[in-house]
Structure 1
């Protein structure tokens, strides 16, 4: 890792945000091989030499040409049952839509396979307790279940995590994210069918990485407001602006802000992490990647290898494989990511209530039934 500094030394130049794989990186099968698997999962695995035993999708036409595009694919399965029964499969990469994903995870665990499940883990409050029990059952069976929170391994965010773990900013005081970029196509897409979509889905990675940066403090209160904005077409059913505020038990706060469909020739997603001893400033996505650490006396700037797409996807798989190699829980295990799910569900409930504060610890299933 290379650091350029305005001070005499670069004390954090040895940190490296790149994916770290063990020697054994084979035995992966992809269950659900749609657009995200084809555009991110498979290119990441090809780039990093991950052995893909095979793939399955509901539509045979979806996967028919994949072996010619990605020669490393071993086979195309005729059914998910065939995939789960294959003794060569060690890890099932579940890239199906959110609805019904829990059943696929359970089936993989029952088959004795380790799992990397796509995010969001769930958007259904009724599934939270079932996922708690599933995580406990998987642990008892010696099966690891991780969630593809690939944003954690986006190079600027990953290096920020490493700096915070090294104590570079002291205790975190606040985190701020701003979307200074256009929105992807939303009107007329499946995203428009998801209530409070910006809060429930689009901001998932931002909520997840921010919750991690606030650790060991615990997010206890969430406020979220989403609004329609000038220029938003009537055909777009979801609001195009959202602001989510997280309040931790340490007194630290975080703000995640999407202003709308930003008009800019230089799109970026800047972020700041302020601490008691320093500040991290950076940006992620769309060629805007940058990161610096300011300790009050000088600034240490970091060169960032790779990009979120596809290195972040490789990082999520690498962490699961490394955890298996080291016989430990992966950092993106279900038990950890359920914290992100609870914060996300609290944010959705707050947006539904016009921005009223919501207690994260109040069970989401109970909130769903509250007046």
Structure 2
């Protein structure tokens, strides 16, 4: 059943009238495969880029004619008066130091996810964000998965009450893992829990948080990961991971990677069960879909856009709109830090053989 007459909220990126003045600090693989294509597609003005490795930016203006210049140094980028927004696309190591430099330069910043990767940096983050607030600088995080069309529409429908209060959320990754062996990602302990699943944890926390009166606050995390049959010996990280979230109001969520799944039609299906209805969908790999079921039939909802690259444009657009509207962005660093706390708790639980880790108080 289609849904042409439903009053559905828009899920795509939104921008203020002026979408200029972006500079990318750390123009590596993800910046060139997703950030720059997103900015080109959505007419975001890229003042320039910088990379610690000059070979990364060689020929970049030929590939992306919208890039104004290649900076000789990070200092030159931060000193440019035309730069209003810094897309901080480096890894999480040294993230707080970069944030402090950008804040001191008076630039708003969109930081790559994960915002931070250690409990020590997470504990130090509030002081950096207070420094940004004092300087009138907005800090957002590139949690681009929030704007994957099926996930984004689910979020907006939950916020307006279309499913009632969330009872449970389930995600299954029915797809092969990306190449990990020999990559820097494989050197990260509990990589699936702390990095790969962060988008899934983040959007799930966002859905649970739509519950009233703090009922959606995640208060406990249980997680475990394990090596699986067929996993090569050279792989340092386990290829199976499960995360379970429990909330103050009793709602729960489960996120599951069974292993390196063999699938002719790979997908990432999800279910959101609410007190008045159920949303069923999938993201990635041309599997995007979303339907609503209120017990009297299933309605297939139309979707527009794609996670890659609209989600990357949307995170910057949200930051720009927050600056123009003088408010905090939906993907603020303070909000994204709550998701980081959950994945760090998941790693701690895995280290404790799956024992629950408390992250809040009832």
Q: Same fold (TM over 0.5)?
A: yes
Structural mapping, 1:235-250, within 5 Å: 235-250=234-249
1:35 aligns with 2:34: no
Distance across 2 between alignment mates of 1:194 and 1:59: 22
TM-score, length-normalised on structure 2?
0.96
1: CA distance, partners of 2:232 / 2:86: 40
* Residue of structure 2 in register with 1:4 after alignment: 2
Q: Deviations over 1:230-279 (max 9, x none)?
A: 11111111100000000000100000000000001100000000000000
Show the counterpart of 1:231: 230
Match of 2:183 in 1: 189
Structure 1 distance, partners of 2:263, 2:181, is 20
Please state how far the C-alpha of 1:299 moved relative to its aligned partner. 2.2
Q: Which moved more, 1:317-326 or 1:264-273?
A: 317-326
**Partner Cα distance (1:19, 1:302) in 2:** 19
Partner of 2:69: 75
Match of residue 26 from structure 1:
20
The structural deviation recorded for 1:298 is: 2.3
Q: 1:14 aligns with which of 8, 16, 27?
A: 8
Instruction: Give the corresponding residue for 1:347.
Output: 346
Contact 1:55 1:75 in 2 (8 A): yes
Structure 1 moving runs of 4+ over 2 Å? none
Q: CA deviation at 1:78?
A: 0.5
Residue pair 2:217, 2:360 contacting (<8 A) in 1 also: no
Structure 1: gaps (5+ residues): 363-371
Partner SS, residue 87 of structure 1: coil
> 5 Å matches for 1:145-156?
145-156=139-150
Distance apart, 1:353 and its partner CA: 1.1
* TM-score under structure 1 length normalisation: 0.94
CA distance in 1, matches of 2:130, 2:246: 29
1:108 aligns with 2:99: no
Q: 1:212 corresponds to which residue?
A: 206
Q: Report what 1:278 is aligned to.
A: 277
Q: How far apart, CA to CA, are the structure 2 residues paired with 1:266 and 1:102?
A: 40
Aligned partners of 1:28 and 1:89 also within 8 Å:
yes
CA distance in 1, matches of 2:219, 2:349: 13
Indicate if the aligned counterparts of 1:221 and 1:359 stay in contact, CA closer than 8 A: yes
1:178 matches 2:176:
no
Deviation, 1:205, is 0.2
Are the counterparts in 2 of residues 10 and 300 from structure 1 also a CA contact under 8 Å?
no
- Provide structure 2 residue ranges, at least 5 long, that are not aligned to the other structure: none
CA distance in 2, matches of 1:14, 1:344: 32
What is the rounded CA distance, in whole Å, between the counterparts of 1:115 and 1:15 in structure 2? 27
Q: CA deviation at 1:227?
A: 0.6
- Give the deviation of 1:123 after TM superposition: 1.0
* Kept after mapping to 1: 8 A contact 2:96/2:128: no
Matched, 1:320 2:319: yes
Distance 2:332 2:10 in 1: 22
The yes-or-no answer on 1:290 pairing with 2:284 is no
> Would the aligned equivalents of 1:84 and 1:108 in 2 still touch at CA under 8 Å?
yes
Question: SS at 1:4's partner residue?
Answer: coil
Alignment correspondent of 1:59: 53
Over the aligned positions, Cα root-mean-square deviation in angstroms equals: 1.2
